[in-house]
Structure formats: C-alpha cells, structure tokens
Amino acid sequence: MQHMASPAFKNCSDCPIRHRAVCAKCDSDELALLEDIKYYRSFSAGQPVLWAGDHMDFVASVVSGVASLTQTMEDGRTQMVGLLLPSDFVGRPGRSVATYTVTATSDLMMCCFRRKPFEQMMDTTPHVAQRLLEMTLDELDAAREWMLVLGRKTAREKIASLLSIIARRDAAFSTSNPGKALTFELPLTREAMADYLGLTLETVSRQMSALKRDGVIALSGKRRISVPDMDKLLFEAGDDSDGGFLT
Amino acid sequence: MQHMASPAFKNCSDCPIRHRAVCAKCDSDELALLEDIKYYRSFSAGQPVLWAGDHMDFVASVVSGVASLTQTMEDGRTQMVGLLLPSDFVGRPGRSVATYTVTATSDLMMCCFRRKPFEQMMDTTPHVAQRLLEMTLDELDAAREWMLVLGRKTAREKIASLLSIIARRDAAFSTSNPGKALTFELPLTREAMADYLGLTLETVSRQMSALKRDGVIALSGKRRISVPDMDKLLFEAGDDSDGGFLT
DNA sequence: CGAACAATTGACCGAATTCAATCCGTGTGG
DNA sequence: CCACACGGATTGAATTCGGTCAATTGTTCG
C-alpha cells in the first residue's frame, strides 16, 4: 500500500537524484524553497500511483525504482508511453488532471511537490523552469525514438531495442568493463514489455527465447539478463553500429 | 529551390502565428529583439529543409505550410515522428546538430532565428523559455498519443486517427458548422501517410478505399476529403466518443 | 502525345496474433 | 511435508492482418 515514507537520506543535498532531477540547477537557497513544499511517497511493485483522469495536486520526481506511464483504449488495448526512471519527472505544471495512468513497476519512491507553490517557483526561479525544459526536450527525443521502434521495427528488433535501452542505463550506473559480459535485472514483466513494444506477451516470450537460442542474450532465472556481446545486441536492434552507446 | 523570401505581411505584429508560436508571450520590446535576429526562408513542396546530422545555426517557427520530421534506418525504413504545422517550432536550443530530417510537405515558409542570440534570449527573457516549455509539453503529449496509434491500432483505425487529427486542426481554423459535412485538403501523399502511420502505401490506399466504400469519407480528386459524419470517423479511429473534439 | 509519378487493385506470402495447453516457481493450507 | 492453486512464462497450432511483388490506372506536365 502507498504510504508516507522516509527515504534513506536526510535532506536534498544527499539525495541520489540531486544533480539529475528537476532540481539539478538549483542553488542552496532555491533548494531550501523546494524542501518546504516536498514530501515523500512510496509504492510497492505493481501498485497504481495515479489513474488517467485523476486529480493531482502535486508534481513529482522518481527518486528510486521504476514506474510506467500507460494509455488504455476502451476495449482494453494498452500502450506504455513512458518508462520513468530515477530523476524522471511526473506531472505537468499548469495541469491538475493526470493524462496517463502511472504504475509502480518496481518498488518506488517519489519526491512530491505541492502543485501551487511549485508553479509559483516555476515563475520566480528560472533554474527550475530551465531544467524542466531540458528534461522535457530529452523526453520528447526519447518518445520520437520510440515511435520508430513502434512503427517500423520487427518483433525481434523491438525486443533487442528495449534490452539495449535498459542495458545502456544500467551500464551508466555500474562500472563499465568493456568486452566483458553485461548483466542486469529486467524490471518488467513480459506483459509490461509487450505493452511497451506494441506486441502480445506471447510474441515477447517467443522472441526472448529466440534471442537466447541464438546466443545474443543469456537468462538466469526469468528476470536476470546477461549480454555477452553488446555490439551483437545493438545489431539485432537494427540501430546504427554506434547507436550513441558509450561512444 | 529554397531561397530567402518575403512573407505577405510587414512585421511581427501582423504575423499570422504571432499569438501561437514561440513568441506568443512576448511583449513589444521582446518582439523587437526577435525582429533583429530573424530572417525568412521558404521552400517549395517536396524540398528537403534539413538532413539528420546537418549543422544548424538557427532555430525556426513554421509560418505557413506543413513540414515533416522523419527518422530513417540504414535499410531505408522511415518513420515520420512529427508533423509541423504553422506555429510549430523546429530545432533545439543548445543543440547545433539536427536530430531528424525535416522536409517541406507543402509549400513552406519558416521564420528563422539565429541560434546564438536566440539562446541568449532564452536566458534573459523568461517569456520565450516559458512558451517553449508549454509547446514542448504539448508536443510530448502529441508524441505519446501517437505511440498508442502506432503500437496498438489497426490499419483502419490508424487512417481514421490521422484524418481526425487533420480534420480537427482544420475545424479550428474554419468556421465550424456542427452537423454539416467537413471538408479539407489532405497535405500528405499516400507515402507520407504510410510513413506517419507505420504502414505501407498500399495498405494506406486500400484502407482509404475501404473507408470511402463504407461511407465514412468521400474523396473529390485525390487530396480533397470530406467527412459527412465526424462522430463516425472518430468511432472508426477507436477513440473515446468525445475524443476531445470540439467539446 | 508520352514520360514520370502518384494511386489503385489483385494475388500471394509471412510475421505476429489468437486460442489453447503446458510448464515452472512460489506461497498456502491441509 | 506435500498437494495444490496461482500467476507468470513458455510453447504449439491455426488464423489473419498487413506486407510484398506486380500489373494497371490515373494525373500532371514537358
């Protein structure tokens, strides 16, 4: 169940997303203003955070864990339209109704800011607005990248693209050992993968098996993936050889 | 061929996109600053504006006409990732390399701002940055909406969705006469429609014929579309009955 | 008129979906 | 402790939607 919660750190200056989130450009004075209007909420894996159409009186940053943004049609077809990782922003200043459903994909900690005072800060402290613009432009690029995946890639390429993205993110955190096998935890069920990729969960399962059979990936358990040769995975994703990966 | 060009109006205050573009929130002083760093460029239908990877020393607003943003894989598969209509913004402050290929889909007039001074204005005049944030958030919503279309809709629903979007935009310009047939010009070739929808041009053609046969749309010539019953079209698009259309 | 290009239509094929059976790991109650 | 239920995942067989290849029809413009 969702509850007010305390994170493992004391204040903003020790926050793990201090230098990547919407507050990244703030100086200590500005940070103090944010401290006043923030509170933490945590959710366990699988819990809904918000339903599309809900009233929201806050905006928030993901502190730890993974959340998903999804859109659903009346007949139940659903499409994931965003994967929210630590430092990503939820909500839209100036809009009090949620456009998308937000779900905690793993255990999740969010840093929430009360809407009204946050919107005032947007007007008064340019650093918040500047950082939010940068982040939104990055999100837009990511969304457009994903449109190519959804519109033009085969099922196998879609899977490889998703694994590349997650591997890339993980590589950024752990120490990169070039040439060595890269191993990471997959934070999504087969169904969530299918919803992200515009596929059925059966097709996801089949293509995962095929990639395993072909030696592109190896599985230990259901969720732990290891990639012996990152270039091979990127090739399967159909991206340019460089792909912007660690170059 | 692309050339420097004069628009049909004298200065910013007479500009047709004055109140919707990135300059919408500017006062007359700020507008004067923009006047100094702007110049016009025009392109005829079909002309490329920018190739992905090109150096750009400007950002721009679409003044009139339609342009498309596309992404292409090495093997030639291409996906349109944005349709740029009058008032839409091209380029990204702080980035001097084009991420996407931009093509003039119809005759096109752009208002270009030299990059460096524009970026300075972004820092000094909050109105420009504020408006750009709003516009980018809108673009992000549109991109996510489109992810649902690409990932989960059938070919017929995709076509109906595209026609709905164009019809909606046109309805916003012309006087809306509820209950009457809505008629508009389709600013895209079948191939461009296919690239937008993640389909082949043959499938686009077949589904257009099917929608015509079923009385959802009527064609006069190849490009002029009329929609006798907008609700029927929205139903075919698979959207909620309201769909945010004129409500 | 004929060339070039856009669009339509048909026949066939194949990748992904659908429907269905089975497997596997985990947790729960007899 | 084992049986069994449950959800997630895998695998199989049949179907279908959209893609591919190819022929044809329009349409525009030198």
Chain B: residues touching A (Cβ < 8 Å): 69, 71, 73-75, 77-79, 81-82, 92, 94, 99-100, 123, 126, 129-130, 132-134, 136-137, 139-141, 143-148, 150-152, 197-198, 238, 240
The reply to whether residue A152 touches residue B78, judged by beta carbons under 8 angstroms, is: yes
> What is the reported pLDDT for B222?
75
Give the Å distances, CA to CA, from B31 to A6, A148, B21, B28, B58: 48, 37, 12, 5, 17
* CB burial of residue A189 (10 Å; 0-12, 13-18, 19+): middle
Nearest nt to B152, CA vs C1'?
C17
Beta-carbon contacts of A239 under 8 Å, excluding residues fewer than 6 positions away, are A161, A164, B73
Q: What is the CATH number of domain A3-149?
A: 2.60.120.10
Closest residue of B to A91, CA-based?
Answer: B137
Instruction: Give residue B242's pLDDT.
Output: 53
The predicted model gives A30-58 an average pLDDT of: 93
pLDDT digits (tens, 9 = 90+) for A63-99: 999 999 999 999 999 999 999 999 999 999 999 999 9
Alpha carbons A137 and A143: distance in angstroms, whole number: 10
Sheet holding B78-84, edge to edge: B48-50, B101-104, B67-72, B78-84
* Of residues A200, A75, A147, the one with CA closest to residue B239: A75
Note the pLDDT of residue A179: 59
Of B71, B79, B139, the CB nearest to A140: B139
User: Which of B36-39's residues contact partners 24+ apart within 8 Å by CB, and which partners?
Assistant: B36/B117, B37/B113, B37/B114, B37/B117, B37/B118, B37/B121, B38/B111, B38/B112, B38/B113, B38/B114, B39/B4, B39/B111, B39/B112, B39/B114
Give the count of alpha carbons within 13 A of B94, CB side only: 10
Rounded average pLDDT over B153-164: 97
Give the SS3 label for residue B152: helix
Give the CA A155 to C1' C15 distance in Å.
9
Q: Which nucleotide is nearest to A222 (CA to C1')?
A: D9
Nearest nucleotide to the CA of B203, by C1', is D18
- B225 CA vs D19 C1’ separation (Å): 26
* pLDDT at residue B246, rounded to an integer: 43
Q: How far is B147 from chain A (nearest CA, A)?
A: 6
Which one is predicted more confidently, B18 or A2? Answer: B18
Alpha helix stretches (DSSP H) within chain A: 28-37, 115-124, 126-152, 155-173, 190-197, 201-213, 230-237
A92: nearest CA partner in chain B: B137
Lowest mean pLDDT, pick from A16-30, A52-66, B105-119, B212-226: B212-226
Of all residues in chain A, the percent with pLDDT exceeding 70 is 91
Q: Scanning every residue of chain B, which has its alpha carbon at the shortest distance from the alpha carbon of A119?
A: B130
The distance (Å) linking the CA of B231 with the C1' of D14 is 36
Can you tell me which residue has its alpha carbon closest to the C1' of nucleotide C7?
B205
- Asked if residue A130 has pLDDT above 70, the reply is yes
Among chain B residues, the shortest Cα distance to A153 is held by B77
From chain A, the residues in CB contact with B235 under 8 A are: none
Q: Supply B62's token pair.
A: 């679409």
Closest CA to A80 of A184, A166, A203, A195: A195
Is the CB of A146 less than 8 angstroms away from the CB of B147? Answer: yes
- The pLDDT, as a whole number, for residue A30 is 93
Q: What is the pLDDT of residue B169?
A: 81
Closest chain A residue to B77 measured between Cα atoms? A152
pLDDT confidence tier of residue B177, bands split at 50, 70 and 90? low
**∠B36-B42-B45 over CA atoms, to 5°?**
160
Q: Cβ contact (<8 Å) for A81 and B238? A: no
Which chain A residues have a beta carbon less than 8 Å from that of B238? 73, 75
> Is residue A41 pLDDT above 60, yes or no?
yes
B192-239 pLDDT, tens digit each: 999 999 999 999 999 999 999 999 999 887 788 999 999 999 999 998
The dihedral over CA atoms of A63, A65, A69, A75, expressed in degrees to the nearest 10, equals: -150
Residue that the structure tokens 């109704």 belong to: A97
Residue A196 has pLDDT above 60, yes or no: yes
> Which member of A133, A141, A144 has the closest CB to residue B133?
A133
Q: Work out the mean pLDDT of chain B and round it to a whole number.
A: 90
- The letter for the amino acid at B88 is D
Topology annotation, domain B3-148: Jelly Rolls (2.60.120)
pLDDT at residue A242 tops 70: no
Question: What is the nearest nucleotide to B221, using C1' and CA?
Answer: D27
pLDDT at B240: 72
Full DSSP string of B192-235: HHHHHHTS-HHHHHHHHHHHHHTTS-EEETTTEEEES-HHHHHH
Q: What is the mean pLDDT of chain A?
A: 90
pLDDT at B244: 46
Best residue of B81, B97, B125, B135 to probe chain A, by most A CBs closer than 10 Å: B81
Measured between alpha carbons, how far is B34 from B58 in angstroms, rounded to an integer? 13
Q: Where are the domains of chain A?
A: 3-149, 154-237
For strand D, the positions having any atom within 7 A of a protein Cβ are 8-13, 17-22, 27-28
How far is residue B178's CA from residue A182's CA, in Å, rounded to a whole number?
A: 59
Whether the beta carbon of B208 falls within 7 A of nucleic chain C: the reply is: yes
What CATH number does the domain located at A154-237 have?
A: 1.10.10.10
A171: confidence class by pLDDT, cuts 50, 70, 90: confident
Confidence of residue A246 (pLDDT cuts 50, 70, 90): very low
Sheet containing strand B182-185, edge to edge, reads B182-185, B224-227, B218-220
Distance from CA of B100 to the nearest CA of A (A): 10
A73 closest CA partner among B211, B193, B138, B237: B237
B79 and A151 within 8 Å at the Cβ level: the answer is yes
Reported as a single tens digit per residue, the pLDDT across B27-77 is: 999 999 999 999 999 998 888 999 999 999 999 999 999 999 999 999 999
pLDDT of residue B148: 98
A80: amino acid identity, one letter: M
Q: Are strands B67-72 and B38-43 parallel, antiparallel or unpaired?
A: unpaired
**Nucleotides of chain C touched by protein CB (<7 A):** 6-11, 15-20
Lowest-confidence region among A37-46, A89-98, B3-12, B194-203: B3-12
Cβ atoms within 10 Å of B57's Cβ, excluding its own: 10
Compute how many other C-beta atoms are within 10 angstroms of the C-beta atom of residue B213: 9
pLDDT number for residue A238: 94
Where residue B3 falls among pLDDT bands split at 50, 70, 90? low
CATH class of the domain comprising B153-236: mainly alpha
Instruction: Indicate if the pLDDT at residue A221 is higher than 90.
Output: no
